Amino acid sequence: MGRPARAPGPTGVVGRLWSAVGSAALVVVVLAVLTGCSAGGSARADAEATAERFAQAVSAGRGATACALLTRDAREDVETASGVGCATGISRLRLAVPPADAPGDTLVYGRAAMVDQGGPALFLARSGSTWLVRAAACTPRTDAPYDCTVDGS
């Protein structure tokens, strides 16, 4: 018994062109999968930069700067929890934030990100071309969602 017969494919110039188009399409698909799955270095770096600016602002007591990096719902949560405006209230909440330059993990899922620098985590949301903090000072709980001091979800 010999090999099974193969269906004839395009030959000559058409065959070479078909092969080149197929190879190019494969490269495009592979690149799209790789960059899509990694969420892109730029998105990750931008989310980390926002988390770092937020941690620096909170640590330095710059409430207005920290609040400018929060989503609208997160600002409202700060005001509800503290009973005062966000710029003053964020200091009253005494958020636990890791040092701004602490190493950690950043996971990006489309328009959402989580930055965990070995302490309380931050959850971010993409707003236009920037990232904003949606939840802050979040600690994991067994068999339950994170417990966040600021929760704008």
What local confidence, expressed as pLDDT, does residue 93 receive?
93
Q: What is the pLDDT of residues 119-152, one digit of tens each?
A: 889 999 999 999 999 999 999 988 888 999 999 9
Q: What is the pLDDT of residues 67-93, one digit of tens each?
A: 999 999 999 999 999 999 999 999 999
SS3 39: coil
Q: Which one-letter amino acid corresponds to residue 3?
A: R
Please give the model's pTM, rounded to 2 decimal places. 0.71
The yes-or-no verdict on residue 114 having pLDDT over 50 is yes
131 has which bridge partners? Answer: 126
Question: In Å, how far are 2, 24, 62 from 92, measured between CA atoms?
Answer: 81, 57, 12
Q: Are strands 121-127 and 112-116 parallel, antiparallel or unpaired?
A: antiparallel
Nearest to 107 by CA among 80, 68, 146, 141: 146
CB-CB contact of 126 with 117 (8 Å): no
